[in-house]
């Protein structure tokens, strides 16, 4: 499993430079192993652009457990929820976020047809900077600007990804400044790797739902794999909304 981004050690740890480096390595090795247990079998999808009929829908006993995970936009009163499992460094996730998602937000989420939940995790061994992106976004969320950072991170994927830089913090720092964050608070959060443990929790959830690729979209009984066009998502939403209005058997 990829080593998380280089960062300063947790606060209240005072050691010499060599001791700090050793502490960081140990810290990240332990966390990386925890993530490995959750997502070792996952890969990432590029542009399948269709429903995966072999992927099971969310089981009724699993769906409620996702309600505390990730980040949500849209009305709590919306009849259904779109759940995306995504990796910030996954190319297909970047394509989906920048091409289809703006229209999904405008025509589906803002219109009250569905909520949108984004659950981030690291799925590919080569995505070494993905955990740093997740932490950067989580730290922006502390200031109520997760979605602004989410959009910047995906739009700039080519400049902070593992193939572009070894240490992505300066790029994320620039995004944080651009969206108007309190930089002292954001840097303190990022350097302490606050919220990093969420990746392990999300990976456990991905394993429970049988996730195999990112992006994966769960929309009622429908599962869409890969970077989806707006039309495919809208069709799944329309079907899920209609299905949600049908009372269970034996009920009027």
Residue pLDDT, tens place only, 69-97 = 999 999 999 999 999 999 999 999 999 99
Share of the chain above pLDDT 90, in %: 66
Residue 71: count of CB within 10 angstroms of its CB: 15
- Write the CA distances from 164 to 36, 103, 168, integer angstroms: 24, 29, 9
- pTM given for the model: 0.79
Complete edge-to-edge strand list for the sheet that includes strand 80-86 = 50-51, 222-225, 216-219, 80-86, 114-120, 71-73
Any idea where the domains of the chain sit in the sequence?
17-244
pLDDT value at position 246?
64
48-52, 65-69, 122-126: range with lowest mean pLDDT: 48-52
Give CA–CA dist 132/12, Å, rounded: 21
Q: Is 172 strand, coil or helix?
A: helix
> For 124-173, what is each residue's pLDDT tens digit?
878 999 999 999 999 999 999 999 999 999 999 999 999 999 999 999 99
For residues 151 and 97, what is the distance between their CA atoms, to the nearest angstrom?
Answer: 7
- Distance of alpha carbon 224 from alpha carbon 93, whole angstroms: 12
Q: Is the dihedral of CA 13, 21, 157, 40 positive or negative?
A: negative
Of 52 and 246, the one with more pLDDT? 246
Say how far apart CA 3 and CA 30 lie, in whole Å: 10
Domain 17-244, what architecture?
Answer: 3-Layer(aba) Sandwich (3.40)
Residues 165, 167, 173, CA angle at the centre, nearest 5°? 105
Residue 67 CB coordination number (10 Å): 11
């Amino acid at each position: 499993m990829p080593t998380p981004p280089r960062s300063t050690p947790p606060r209240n740890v005072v050691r010499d430079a060599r001791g700090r480096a050793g502490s960081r390595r140990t810290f990240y090795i332990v966390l990386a192993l925890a993530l490995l247990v959750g997502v070792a079998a996952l890969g990432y999808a590029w542009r399948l652009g269709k429903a995966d009929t072999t992927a099971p829908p969310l089981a009724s006993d699993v769906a409620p457990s996702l309600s505390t995970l990730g980040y949500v936009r849209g009305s709590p009163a919306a009849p259904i929820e779109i759940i995306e499992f995504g990796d910030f460094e996954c190319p297909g996730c970047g394509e989906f976020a920048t091409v289809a998602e703006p229209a999904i937000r405008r025509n589906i989420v803002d219109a009250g047809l569905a909520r949108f939940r984004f659950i981030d995790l690291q799925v590919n061994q080569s995505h070494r900077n993905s955990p740093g992106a997740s932490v950067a976004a989580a730290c922006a969320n502390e200031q109520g600007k997760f979605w602004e950072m989410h959009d910047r991170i995906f739009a700039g994927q080519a400049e902070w990804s593992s193939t572009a830089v070894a240490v992505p913090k300066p790029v994320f720092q620039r995004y944080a400044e651009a969206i108007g964050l309190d930089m002292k608070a954001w840097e303190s959060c990022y350097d302490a790797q606050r919220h990093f443990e969420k990746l392990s929790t999300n990976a456990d959830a991905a394993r429970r739902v049988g996730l195999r690729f990112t992006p994966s979209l769960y929309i009622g009984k429908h599962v869409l794999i890969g970077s989806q066009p707006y039309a495919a998502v809208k069709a799944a939403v329309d079907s899920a909304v209609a299905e949600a209005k049908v009372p269970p058997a034996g009920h009027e």
